[in-house]
Homo-oligomer: A and B are copies of this chain.
Amino acid sequence: MNYSEFKKLVNLSKEEISGQILERNRNSIKVKKEKKVIDNLIRIIDATLAICSKKSFQAMSIRDLSAESGLSRGALYSYFTNKEELLVLIQTQGREIAYQVLTDQIAKGSDPLEKLRLAIKSHIYLSEAMRNWFYFTYIEARNLPKDEQKRAIESELQTEKIFIDIINEGVKEQVFRDDNVVLAAAVIKAMLQDWYLKRWKYRSRKVSVDEYADFVIHVAESILLIK
């Protein structure tokens, strides 16, 4: 699998994501017409992510969001009850998508090594396809209210657990080495994150997403595979 194959494989249609958000937030969205909601949620989220790729969510004013999305300030408040709720909404959905796609892809692997490769590739490819979303989820997590911050942390650990489980499975089958499984998973995760946190760097160096994914796999195999 390479990036262009991945993109065809995974259906990340904005309408679909927006629909899921609607399900999740029926009570705080005041507009009744489904089609309207889906359309405008897309505009609002796109605008938020675009603005927040340049400045922080805190620094983005409702005036900014109004200008970028094309909806008036008043209208915006028909889709969320306050600014913080918008933050929570995008973060929750972002984590949900990531987890779903990741677990779906891994399920296709039949042995630990294949699963490991799939996990690394699909994470990097997904963060490439939804770069702004991933960046936002990472960088704005600290501005969440306390209880939502806790969820963000749980989600991070959950993703890492996916890698820990794969590695442990490999250890049991004697294809992976049995030392520092947890740390191995942690540094793999760190490498995955670097792709969307520092994309300006890789872009300026003309490192392609496929090249990066292959390199991370190479590193992971170097520390894990039994020689």
A-to-B contact residues, CB < 8 Å? 55-56, 58-59, 139, 142-143, 153, 156-157, 180, 182-183, 186-187, 189-191, 193-194, 198, 200-202, 205, 207, 211-212, 215-216, 218-219, 222-223
- A55, B190: Cβ atoms under 8 Å? no
| Known A200-B153, A201-B186; contact A142-B191, beta-carbon cutoff 8 A | no
Known: A56-B142, A139-B139, A200-B153. A205 touches B182 (CB 8 A): yes
Shortest Cβ distance from A96 into chain B, in angstroms?
21
- State whether B223 touches A219 (Cβ < 8 A): yes
Some 8 contacts from A to B, beta carbons below 8 A apart, are A58-B58, A180-B215, A182-B205, A186-B198, A187-B191, A187-B194, A219-B222, A222-B222
**Chain B residue at smallest Cβ distance from A59:** B58
Distance in angstroms from A164 CB to nearest chain B CB is 11
CB neighbours (8 Å) of A205 from chain B are 182
**Bound Cα distance A156, B197 (Å):** 13
Among the interface residues A142, A153, A156, which one has the most CB atoms of the partner chain B within 10 A? A142
Residue among A190, A193, A194, A223 with max Cβ neighbours from chain B (10 Å):
A190
Q: Which residue on B lies nearest to A195, using beta carbons?
A: B190
Instruction: Determine if A56 and B58 form an interchain contact, defined as CB atoms under 8 angstroms apart.
Output: yes
Distance between A98 CB and nearest chain B CB, rounded to angstroms: 17
Query: In whole angstroms, what is the CA distance A56 to B142 when docked?
Result: 8
B-side contacts of A207, CB under 8 Å? 182-183
Is B201 touching A156 in the complex (CB atoms < 8 A)? yes
B223–A218 touching, CB < 8 Å: yes
Complex alpha-carbon distance, A142 and B142, angstroms: 15
The one of B56, B156, B191, B202 in contact with A143, judged by C-beta atoms closer than 8 angstroms, is B56
Task: List 19 additional A-B contacts (Cβ < 8 Å) besides A59-B143, A189-B194, A190-B191.
Answer: A55-B142, A55-B143, A56-B56, A56-B58, A58-B58, A156-B201, A182-B205, A183-B207, A183-B211, A186-B201, A187-B191, A187-B194, A187-B215, A187-B216, A190-B190, A190-B193, A190-B194, A190-B198, A193-B194
Q: Which 9 A-B pairs have the closest CB atoms?
A: A190-B194, A58-B58, A222-B222, A183-B215, A222-B223, A190-B190, A187-B191, A190-B191, A219-B223
